[in-house]
Structure 1
Amino acid sequence: MAIEPVVYGASERPPRGDYARAGADYTCPQDYARYTEQDHDTYRRLYARQSALLPGLASEAFIAALPSLGAEDRIPRFEDINARLKPATGWEIVGVPGLIPEVPFFTLLANRKFPVTDWIRTPEEFDYIVEPDIFHDLFGHVPLLFNPVFADYVQRYGQGGLKAERLGACEMLSRLYWYTIEFGLIREAGGLRAYGAGILSSSGELPYSVQSSAPQRRPLQLERTMRTRYKIDSFQETYFVIDSFQDLFDMTAADFAPVYERLRGLPEIAANASGD
């Protein structure tokens, strides 16, 4: 079976990454020798800039787990992270050449394997990149996989994704991923904080999402979230807020099949829509 690149959202440029290296499950070994000193320096500078922004903006659970990534001055080796991650929560990270199709993606998550793109952006893309790279995936996603409750939620999402695919409901479920795992906010003792990887790996959206008066911030409600469209090429106009990772996990315990059926008869909600 030929392994083809995947495009999500609107992009005139096909995904980069060597998909010929991928197996049938879209995973591939991390080709560590391929990274140049410039690649390592890009990672070092991204890590330094982003970690300096975290206090007062990022979830305390994320800040506490970040050192588990290991190396700050070079791209980490996946096997080194897995040596700490697997004993902590049973998860492991696996290399992929870039974006992968929904079913292989859900299957990996359902088996507690998180796909991490193994290439890094160019220096010219330091401030913005169209598709996820190794910095976004490692820095943004992996630290919270050391949190047992959040790690269980991500696995549950993968299991739910396989069911959603059979029910023709992937678009609705993808919005839950977007507004939680990628762009979620949480209320902590110190105030509003970010836990979504798309926020945590962005120098601009991290302060914007927490401090700006421009976006809406709404309590996370499953049906409202799964009806709400989202932006892929600008800061979000709506963020959904949880009170704890346990609440998020408990909220997603129900069978979504009846939810999907109800939502099929309702209109989508614009990303900037106010009201219910």
Structure 2
Amino acid sequence: MLKDLFSKKKKYASIPSEQAKQDVPEGLMKKCSKCYKIYYRKELNKNLNVCPSCDYHHQLTAWERIDSLFDEGTFQEWDHGLLSTNPLEFPDYEAKLEKDRKKTGLNEGVVTGKGSIDGQEAAFAVMDSSFRMGSMGSVIGEKIARAVEKAKDESLPFIIFTASGGARMQEGVLSLMQMAKTSVAIKRFSESGGLMISVMTHPTTGGVSASFASIGDYNFAEPGALIGFAGRRIIEQTTREKLPDDFQTAEFLFKHGQLDQVVHRHDMKQLFVKLLQMHQKGGASS
């Protein structure tokens, strides 16, 4: 009897782990990047990709972000057909762009448009880091600048969510020029009396953090977001100083006055509703 019991244990223990993995359909489960707990992907999606255990904010795609904020059926996309070219004839650049288009369903790393948030219309731009790591190329800069200009022409507030690894090296100085182009468009928008709300998500780095991401009337960030220009290692090597453990996190920037607030994803829509109501032309004063 005792022998049979141990033999059964041995039998179950000998089942290959690869076979166990095959029994779970691909994409059904997702492991939290911070606490490593495993959840059904549908469960996480319902929670806006926020871990129920440790509150870690996993990334959202551009359209998941749009669906979480805008009233159903109200979002109208702008400039969908704008496509990047290969002005510097960088090897394999066009093939990599096409691969990302197929993988993400996006033409570029930003979606722009307008829609209604609890009945209040706003222009919108959201970057998606799954497309070329959210790197800023000439089309991203052009789409954002156009969205800001349309917001000015239609007297709409402008909301942007940033997520980027920095400038796109395959486009060289043309990529860096987008910092100036977008900043000038936002300056004109601001001078016309427009309201801009910027939300930095993980990660927002390089030229994006040094330009349009940081010049909103309100500058917010999601919890734990990495925000900065140069990388931690470069800064430590340059300054020859050890940086704090939380350096370049949203919480660190808020503590040092570089953000207005760190906002949980579940509270984001309600915050926008309050701000849009407060700044609504001709609306009731708060």
**Which band: TM-score by shorter chain?**
under 0.3
Greater gyration radius: 2
Instruction: Identify the structure with the greater strand proportion.
Output: 2
TM-score where L is the length of structure 1 = 0.25
Bigger RCO of structures 1 and 2 (CA < 8 A, at least 6 apart): 1
TM-score where L is the length of structure 2 = 0.24
Instruction: Identify the structure with the greater helix proportion.
Output: 1
